[in-house]
Chains A and B, each alone.
Chain A
Amino acid sequence: MYKYDAVDKTIVSDRVEQFRGQVSRHLAGELSAADLAPLRLRNGLYMQIHAHMLRVSIPYGLLSSEQMHALAQVSRQYDKGYGHFTTRQNIQFNWPELADVPDILKDLSNVEMHAIQTSGNCIRNISSDHYAGVATDEIIDPRPYCEIIRQWSTLHPEFYWLPRKFKIAVTGATQDRAAVKFHDIGLEVVHNDANQVGFRVYVGGGLGRTPVIGKVIKEFLPREDILSYCEAILRVYNLHGRRDNKYKARIKILVNAMGIDDFRDEVEAEWAHFKDGELKLHDVDFETMQAFFPKPAYQELESGDERVAKWRDLDDRFKAWYDNNTVDHIQPGYRIVNISLKEHGVAPGDATDSQMDAIANIAEQFSFGEIRVTHEQNLVLADVREQDLLDIWKALDADRLATPNIGSVNDMICCPGLDFCSLANASSISVAKQINEKFEDFEELYNIGEVKLKMSGCMNACGHHHVGHIGILGVDKKGEEWYQLTVGGDASNNAALGTHLGKAIAKDKVSDAIGDILDVYKDLRSDDERLLDTFRRVGIDPFKEKVYSEEV
């Protein structure tokens, strides 16, 4: 993974001291709470219902074991012994004291981590495919491009006070696991006909109150132009994006208002001024960056392992874990392991300090000391030998990290909701628990198959409900928590927004409604259709009829 050089170290360490200065000026009464707010946000520090919340950046979701140990230590020393992995592949701590935050950031800088631009109206953490470098469908490894964009976007002086937050995602595989069409800028690394590497550039996608699928602004952008082209988009957005209404301020609103063709013309005209200037990248820049993401020192192995095969026959629990939580790898004899952070009864995405330490140790022993965070709030050990799977499973199981539910209804994405978040209208964690309890039978879960269930506690859509195969949105109706359901959303290549099922459902009826939707699916599915496929074939009506039938 990327290692800091002297420049990175200087910038991160200066930044910590700068923030320490801001906090001490604030505590001394020289910097008002109002003026501190946007500054602390740009260091990942929010003010929530109960306390401050610190969001630490995990660039494109990649962590070393050492960094994971450091996160565990932060949660132990400064928080309540747990952290929450987010849909932007970051981690949040829910209980830090303001006065401690400079020290937390200092500790994190020692392991090459920071919280820069994890919040605020600026360019946020670059997100990517959590299987980058090891996916069987990968065309080009996106990580070097992510890191190049990360450095350019970090503390960019001109784009620090944008109309609204700005998110960039990069994918390099056939199957889009980074939801690039739902980002302000989405980049798909591709080859052109001449076999040159470049990007298909999407702009103006996003979720939130106004979900929009990103539009292609450039079919092929040569890779050496990536920074100048992003800069042109950002400058047009900075100058023309709406600033009078925060709900209309994202770039998606601007792109829709101008139309993609006029927006493209504006960007191209801006780009023409400086496209061959200082921001142009050279081949050596990519080679240097690619060298930070080498293939690990894989052993030459055959595919398959006798002992693992035997135990899959003997132990149903191991078999369920193997079948659901591990994935094919490009290297023979290796597999990708998903670590589920969706244990029943635990808030989705949460991990305790001892779990984080255990994961770091397992990664150190079995997966070249690296861990990835997924935007579905799980973790990944990307490079494990098939022959080690039984040992890994036992080690994960001992720390309650082997729940075999990846991709199932119980592997839901969920925002913090009303329990923690000051924006939320309704709780989401308790509904997640209700759904977990309804679907306790794992055989039934496997029978249902892949269902991406995504839940947000308000229309800001941190839980990405618009793109859930089943989406749940919490709403407030006269002080009561109600939930609106959608079916058929998809964040991947065939990007689609979910279709509304009907009027909102009472809190205690949500899991029953999910059960109804899945019953309809089981009745109507043909062959190996997923819920999403069946929905695309039959439409919303059969689901609607069943869910609302009892009320008549």
Chain B
Amino acid sequence: MATTKTVANRAIKARAKATPDRIQNDILSTKAIVNQQIVGNAIHHVAETEELTSRDLPKGDISVPMNLWLDHKTELQARTGLVAVQIAADEFPEDFADEYADIPMIVLPMVAHIDGRSYSHAYKLRTRFNYKGEIRAIGDVKYDQLSFLTRSGCNAFELPAGENLETALNAFSEMSDVYQPSADGGALIFSRRRAVH
């Protein structure tokens, strides 16, 4: 089991890391939207760097890059406080299938909201790996992305500083119907019409 994990880990590390695919700086927001409610937040999201080691981590609730989790899982699990794990846009959820039972929260860091890969990650986590924990989108995530991210499987969000969270809550009620299923358990429009006939 350990061998397969090592392979997945090395394959990812072999890719160029300093690309815009990954967040470059730590993120720490004071508030989050969780299950459509504004709540206080203390999770410190640690950015992946070449030098990052498990000794550099801040105290308290954190999220760490997947590589760090794979390398130092036992040590991280021994911490007090939350240890969530990030899946970057250029990583693939299927590479970490064995990990999800041990991960209490998955964080999807978005460098740019126009990069839609994390939507597919969230969809796969919910529908293919049956992940029941919180999936939190952070980074360049604003009002107008919340609805589709929710449909794709995210249930928590941290918006950039300066965004109005109260206004952003409107995003969840703007669209009152949909045509297609996603991770939200929605039905295909044609199967709904079938049921009517």
B188 contacts which of A22, A121, A152, A288 (Cβ < 8 Å)?
A152
Q: Chain A nearest CB: distance from B124 CB in Å? A: 8
Q: Are B177's CB and A10's CB within 8 A?
A: yes
Q: Are B174's CB and A14's CB within 8 A?
A: yes
Q: Tell whether A158 pairs with B182 under 8 Å between CB atoms, given A10-B177, A235-B120, A285-B194.
A: yes
Tell me, yes or no, whether B191 is within 8 Å of chain A by CB: yes
Tell me, yes or no, whether A243 is within 8 Å of chain B by CB: yes
The secondary structure that dominates the A interface is: helix
Q: Are A11's CB and B179's CB within 8 A?
A: yes
A18 contacts which of B149, B167, B175, B187 (Cβ < 8 Å)?
B175
Question: In the docked arrangement, what's the CA distance between A47 and B72, Å?
Answer: 50
Q: Which chain B residue lies CB-closest to A286?
A: B190
Tell me, yes or no, whether A497 is within 8 Å of chain B by CB: no
Produce 1/0 per residue, A1-27, CB < 8 A to B.
000010100110011011001100100
Q: Are A278's CB and B191's CB within 8 A?
A: yes
Tell me, yes or no, whether A95 is within 8 Å of chain B by CB: no
Question: In the docked arrangement, what's the CA distance between A10 and B192, Å?
Answer: 15
Q: Tell whether A155 pairs with B178 under 8 Å between CB atoms, given A161-B114, A239-B120, A274-B127.
A: yes
Q: Chain A nearest CB: distance from B185 CB in Å? A: 9
Contacts of A284 in B (CB 8 A): 194, 197
Contacts of B177 in A (CB 8 A): 7, 10-11, 14
Tell me, yes or no, whether B181 is within 8 Å of chain A by CB: yes
Please count how many residues in chain A sit with their CB below 8 Å of the partner chain's CB atoms: 44
B116 contacts which of A155, A160, A274, A288 (Cβ < 8 Å)?
A160
A227 contacts which of B119, B164, B176, B188 (Cβ < 8 Å)?
B188
Produce 1/0 per residue, B89-109, CB < 8 A to A.
000100000000000000000
Produce 1/0 per residue, A362-400, CB < 8 A to B.
000000000000000000000000000000000000000
A282 contacts which of B176, B184, B194 (Cβ < 8 Å)?
B194
Q: Which chain B residue lies CB-closest to A273?
A: B128
Q: Tell whether A35 pairs with B174 under 8 Å between CB atoms, given A158-B119, A158-B182, A239-B92.
A: no
Question: In the docked arrangement, what's the CA distance between A10 and B20, Å?
Answer: 38
Question: In the docked arrangement, what's the CA distance between A152 and B123, Å?
Answer: 16
Q: Are B117's CB and A278's CB within 8 A?
A: no
Q: Are B170's CB and A285's CB within 8 A?
A: no
Taking CB atoms and an 8 Å cut-off, the chain A residues in 385-427 that contact chain B are none
Q: Chain A nearest CB: distance from B2 CB in Å? A: 26
Tell me, yes or no, whether A299 is within 8 Å of chain B by CB: no
Q: Which chain B residue lies CB-closest to A162?
A: B116
Residue among A35, A121, A152, A157 having the largest count of chain B Cβ atoms under 10 Å: A157
Q: Are B182's CB and A157's CB within 8 A?
A: yes
Q: Chain B nearest CB: distance from A6 CB in Å? A: 8
Contacts of B113 in A (CB 8 A): 161
Contacts of B178 in A (CB 8 A): 11, 155, 157
Q: Are A151's CB and B181's CB within 8 A?
A: no
Q: Are B116's CB and A39's CB within 8 A?
A: no
Contacts of B192 in A (CB 8 A): 7
Tell me, yes or no, whether B151 is within 8 Å of chain A by CB: yes
Taking CB atoms and an 8 Å cut-off, the chain A residues in 121-169 that contact chain B are 121, 148, 151-152, 154-162
A157 contacts which of B92, B127, B148 (Cβ < 8 Å)?
B148
Question: In the docked arrangement, what's the CA distance between A532 and B114, Å?
Answer: 42
Tell me, yes or no, whether B86 is within 8 Å of chain A by CB: no
Q: Tell whether A157 pairs with B179 under 8 Å between CB atoms, given A238-B116, A239-B117.
A: no
Q: Are A10's CB and B176's CB within 8 A?
A: yes
Contacts of B181 in A (CB 8 A): 278-279
Query: Considering the complex of A and B, which 7 residue pairs feature the smallest CB-CB distances, nearest first?
Result: A161-B116, A157-B148, A157-B151, A285-B190, A10-B177, A18-B174, A158-B119
4 new A-B contacts at CB < 8 Å, known A159-B119, A244-B19: A17-B174, A31-B143, A239-B117, A274-B127
B: which residues have CB within 8 A of A? Answer: 19-20, 92, 113-117, 119-120, 123, 127-128, 142-144, 147-149, 151-152, 164, 167, 170, 174-182, 184, 187-194, 197
- A-B contacts, 25 listed (Cβ < 8 Å): A5-B193, A10-B177, A14-B175, A18-B174, A22-B144, A30-B167, A31-B144, A39-B144, A155-B179, A157-B147, A157-B152, A157-B182, A158-B120, A160-B119, A161-B115, A161-B119, A238-B119, A239-B120, A243-B117, A244-B20, A273-B128, A274-B127, A279-B181, A282-B191, A288-B190
